[in-house]
Amino acid sequence: MSTFEQSGKHLAIQSWQKINSKVLAGFTTRQGGNSTMPFHSMNMGFHVNDDPDTVRENRKLFSDEISFPIENWIGSKQVHAEKIVKVSKEDRGLGSLDFETAIPDTDGLYTSEENVLLTSLYADCVPLYFFSPNDNLIGLAHAGWKGTVAKIGPAMVNTWQTKENVDVKTVRAAIGPSIGHCCYEVDDRVIKEVRAALDGDIEDTVYKKNPAGNYQLNLKKLNEILLLKAGVLPENILVSDQCTSCQNDVFFSHRKDRGKTGRMMSYIGRKGD
């Protein structure tokens, strides 16, 4: 069974909610919205040339589904890098109803405050989730292959340790639905960066050469290994078994849809009393 369980039309990390009933974390699917081809139907991204009013409608539908006001959402303009930004209630609404106000050049967000929903957008890249129950910290990071080899996952963990005095043993992480090694073919240029990120530790579980002479890359496994190297305990890491390309009826996939497609949204927030 997947660590991301069906909850209505979206997926949820229900095991985290059992730890803290105020925490909501999960991932939208492409189902249940109003967008038309090729963005059918629950497209959450403003930046893909879908009708902005329709995207707002989709977001409001989802806001109602999880009972988290859209005015409390925060989003960023993702650039496949490793920048982490701490946000607060004063930032609520940035990127929630348009693309222009989203926090610029940022792929990682975290907060210690309640009634803030962190959001990030995907169509094959790896969504990373972070939660420290002891410190009431939550975070999200967007990890395509560039962000992964730039170690955005470890960057979040290190930021929490150095700036928030978090004990790494309390940090929980989840690796969400993304393109699987079954469908993710890359070339030598990417594998060279992967090897560098692994600091010389060649992991045969991360990539395998295929008959075409390229490589099948397991981005989820690479992120998991990098989080373990950053000190996150293995029992505190959840990994989704869902491939966004294989399950194209459920998820948008940049590769499967040949670049013209919508976006799913990862989210995490803590509701107040």
209-246 confidence digits (pLDDT tens): 999 999 999 999 999 999 999 999 999 999 999 999 99
pLDDT in tens, 130-179: 999 999 999 999 999 999 999 999 999 999 999 999 999 999 999 999 99
Distances in whole angstroms, Cα of residue 233 to Cα of each of 23, 168, 171, 174: 21, 8, 8, 12
Q: Is residue 246 part of a domain?
A: yes
Q: Is residue 205 part of a domain?
A: no
Q: Which has the closest alpha carbon to 241: 256, 220, 267?
A: 220
Q: Which has the closest alpha carbon to 180: 241, 129, 99?
A: 241
Q: Is residue 69 part of a domain?
A: yes
pLDDT at 246: 97
pTM recorded for the entire structure: 0.97
Q: Is residue 13 part of a domain?
A: yes
Q: Is residue 218 part of a domain?
A: no
Check whether 1 has a pLDDT greater than 80.
Answer: no
Q: Is residue 36 part of a domain?
A: yes
pLDDT band at 2 (very low <50, low <70, confident <90, very high): low
Can you give the length of the chain in residues?
273
Q: Is residue 206 part of a domain?
A: no
- Structural domains counted in the chain: 1
Domain that includes residue 260, residue range = 5-178+233-270
Rounded Cα distance, 56 and 63, in Å: 10
Q: Which has the closest alpha carbon to 170: 182, 161, 159?
A: 161
Q: Is residue 104 part of a domain?
A: yes
Which CATH number is 161's domain given? 3.60.140.10
pLDDT at 95: 98
Rounded Cα distance, 212 and 135, in Å: 48
pLDDT in tens, 70-120: 999 999 999 999 999 999 999 999 999 999 999 999 999 999 999 999 999
